[in-house]
Amino acid sequence: MKPELDIKVSNIAYRFQPESSFNLAIGDLKYRFDGALGMYGLSGSGKTTFSKILAGIVKPQAGDLHFSFKNGTVEPPKIMYSPQFPEKIFLGVRVGDTVQQIVTQNPLRTDLLEHIFFYLDRFSMSYDMIKDKSGFELSGGELRRFAISLSLAMSPDLLILDEPTIGMGHKGKNQLYSVLDDFQRQHHVLIVSHDFELIRKICKHFWILHRGSLIFNGNLIELDSQHDIKKHVGIHLFGMYFHRSLRQ
C-alpha cells in the first residue's frame, strides 16, 4: 500500500524575467494526495512552471514547498517529472543507448530493465523493434510512450506527467488510462494538461491555474457550481460531462 503523501506550499513566486508580464504566485496551499491529482489551465497559465517547481527542477524565487509522508518516513519522496516535449531529450540518441544509460545509473534497481520492457509492452511497443532507432526515427506518439514508460519504470513516489497525450492517438490514450489506473494503486500521480476531458477521466481532485494563480482547488462536484471559473478557463461544456459521468 502506498504511503499517504502531503504537500505544503507557502507563498511561492516565480517570474521568468524582471520585465516579464507573467508572474507565478501560489499562496498557502496544503494538499494530501488521494487518488490522481489533475492540474488544469490554458496555455500560459503557469502549469508547467509550477509542476517543475514541485518536481525540484525549477527553484522558486520566493516561498517554499515541502513534501512529507504521513507515516513519518524521513526520506523525501522520489519525484519523477515526464516532460511535455520528450523529443527534445531523445531525438539524437538511440533508444537502446538511452535505456542502457538509465539502467547503469541505477545499479540497485535490478528489476529496472524488466519494468521498462513491461511498460513498453503495455503501450504496444517492442524494445527489440526500437532499440536501434534514434529519436528521429520514432513518431511523436512513440516518443511520448517511450518517455512515459521510462518514467513509470522508475517507480517514483510521485509521477508528474506534463501533457502526456500530445501526439497520442485514441489507442495510446486508452492505454495510458489503463496503465495509470494500475500504477496509481502503488504510486501518486499528478497529471498536468490543458485538456480537461483527459484529467477528468483520470483524476479525483483538481487544481486550476489562470494567469499564474491558483483559482480552484477541489473536486468535480465543487467545480460544477463555479460558473465564473469555468468560463475563465474554457470549460464551457463541463456540466454536460459531469452529469454524463454520473450516469456511467
Q: Is residue 41 part of a domain?
A: yes
Mean predicted confidence (pLDDT) in 182-188: 94
Per the structure, how many domains does the chain have?
1
CATH number, residue 64: 3.40.50.300
pLDDT above 80 for 100 = yes
- Confidence category of residue 66, pLDDT binned at 50, 70, 90: very high
Average confidence score pLDDT of the chain: 90
Mean predicted confidence (pLDDT) in 9-20: 87
Between helix 95-105 and helix 140-153 the angle, nearest 10°, is 10
Q: Which domain holds residue 53?
A: 1-76+204-248
Percent of the chain with pLDDT over 70: 94
Q: Is residue 136 part of a domain?
A: no
CA–CA gap between residue 66 and residue 61 (Å, rounded): 15
Q: Is 165 helix (H, G, I), strand (E, B) or coil?
A: coil
Q: Is residue 29 part of a domain?
A: yes
pLDDT digits 0-9 by tens, 40-51 = 999 889 999 999
pLDDT value of position 31: 95
pLDDT digits 0-9 by tens, 102-128 = 999 999 999 999 999 999 999 999 999
Q: Is residue 227 part of a domain?
A: yes
Q: Is residue 15 part of a domain?
A: yes
pLDDT value of position 11: 96
pLDDT digits 0-9 by tens, 188-228 = 999 999 989 889 999 999 999 999 999 999 998 899 888 88
Q: Please report the DSSP string for 185-228 in residue order.
A: TTSEEEEEES-HHHHHHH-SEEEEEETTEEEEEE-HHHHHT-HH
Beta partners for residue 32, in sequence order: 6
Under 8 Å between Cβ of 57 and 81: yes
Q: Is residue 218 part of a domain?
A: yes
Q: Is residue 219 part of a domain?
A: yes
- Confidence category of residue 236, pLDDT binned at 50, 70, 90: low
pLDDT above 90 for 245 = no
Q: Is residue 60 part of a domain?
A: yes
